[in-house]
Amino acid sequence: MTAITAADAPTQAPAAPRRSRRAREISGQAGWAVLGWVVGIAFFLPILWMVITAFKPESAAETWPPQFTFSPTLSQFRLVWDGMGPFIEHSAIATVGSTILVLVLALPAAYALSIRPVGKWRDSLFFFISTKMLPVVAAIGPLYVIALKAHLLDSLWLLIILYAAMNLPLAIWMIRSFMLEVPTEMLEAARLDGAGRFREITEVIMPVVSPGLVSTALICVIFAWNELFLALNLTVTNASTMPMFLISSVPQEGLYIAHLSAAATVASVPVIIVGWIAQRSLVRGLSMGAIK
């Protein structure tokens, strides 16, 4: 893909009309626009197709050639709606619960690693990151046994605990990076004004950091909601989440594509919307706070 813009073409013609420069600018922009939109739609296409298929009756979903015009129906969604009750409830509880737990643990930890740091803050940070590097897949067998013995198997508490552990390093790094942006002068001024530890937190730090907390929470929600591996191995019915619901929409026999698409759409839409809202913080979350 050539990165040379149209504006690079050298001109020697004296006093070329202003119009040609505008024209070159516009055509250059148009070129990028076309490329951009083509790429954007190409990436979005499978999702678009998923949503379209969700509105099809099964008969129209498994056809050749694939149908683009059909009479849309909400019957798939109705089926999904009927079936997903407990699953979506479990997902919501596990997601919100684990996110709250994460924030409660991560906020003070981030504080202790940025504004009023402990002696070995570098080591602590690396420890947290290293837990993310250890594959949870490795311990899944023993985890199952532990959960069983602790009577936590197939329970939402188990998911809350594990998801919180999964997201904690991320949250600590993210919130820490937000706290680092509190201007030292503000903290010093507050200290001079006689603010104690508590006031320092509520009146100086929280206002600056709040938007960051929201985006951290949203990132944690995304990862917790989408998680499959732990849910698959450690839950059965009492705590099964939306990813499990999706798997169950694939029956052994019979037509299922439209139904699956509807289930996939319903399962994915909440997080997609959350992600669109938290777009700006996505980078910070994904890079664990290394990039602003």
Q: Which of residues 183-212 bind another protein (CB under 8 A)?
A: 183-184, 187
Q: Which stretch binds another protein (CB under 8 A): 72-80, 82-90, 92-100, 126-134?
A: 126-134
**C-alpha of 28 from chain center:** 34
x-marked contacts with another protein along 33-72 as a string, rule CB under 8 A: x-xxx-xxx-xxxxx-xx--x-------xxxxxx------
Q: Could you say whether residue 139 binds another protein (CB under 8 A)?
A: yes
- Tokens of residue 266, six digits: 């319903």
CA-CA-CA-CA dihedral for 153, 157, 162, 164, to nearest 10: 180
- Residues binding another protein: what is the number (CB under 8 A)? 130
Of the candidate spans 77-85, 92-100, 209-217, 227-235, the one that interacts with another protein by CB under 8 A turns out to be: 227-235
Number of helices (H), then strands (E), belonging to the chain: the values are 13, 0
The residues, ordered by sequence, that sit 6+ positions from 82 with a Cβ below 8 Å of its Cβ are none
Q: Of the ranges 75-83, 92-100, 209-217, 275-283, which one interacts with another protein (CB under 8 A)?
A: 275-283
**246 binding another protein? (CB under 8 A):** yes
Q: Which is nearer to another protein, 34 or 74 (CB)?
A: 34
- With CB under 8 A as the contact rule, the residue among 81, 85, 121, 206 that binds another protein is 121
240 scored as a contact of another protein (CB under 8 A) = no
**CA 140, CA 229: separation in Å to the nearest integer?**
9
Which residue of 93, 132, 154, 191 would you call a contact of another protein, by CB under 8 A?
132
Lay out the site mask for another protein across 163-182 (x = CB under 8 A, - = otherwise).
-xx--xx--x----x-xxxx
How far apart are CB 42 and another protein at their closest, in Å? 9
Single-letter code of the amino acid located at 112: A
Span from 72-80, 92-100, 209-217, 238-246 in contact with another protein (CB under 8 A): 238-246
Task: Please identify, using beta-carbon distances, which residue of 93 and 161 lies nearer to another protein.
Answer: 161
- Whole-angstrom distance, CA of residue 123 vs CA of residue 77: 50
Q: Which region holds residue 250: left if phi is over 0, alpha if psi is between -120 and 50, else beta?
A: beta
- Tell me the C-alpha to C-alpha distance, in Å, between residue 88 and each of 43, 71, 96, 187, 256: 27, 28, 12, 43, 20
* Cβ contacts of 5 within 8 Å, gap of 6 or more: 28
CB-CB contact of 288 with 170 (8 Å): yes
Six token digits for residue 129: 């990151």
Closest contact distance (angstroms) between CB of 82 and another protein is 19
Token pair for 196: 């104690």
Stretch that binds another protein, among 71-79, 81-89, 92-100, 160-168 (CB under 8 A): 160-168
Query: Restricting to residues 72-111, which ones interact with another protein according to CB under 8 A?
Result: 104-106, 108-109, 111
DSSP 7: G
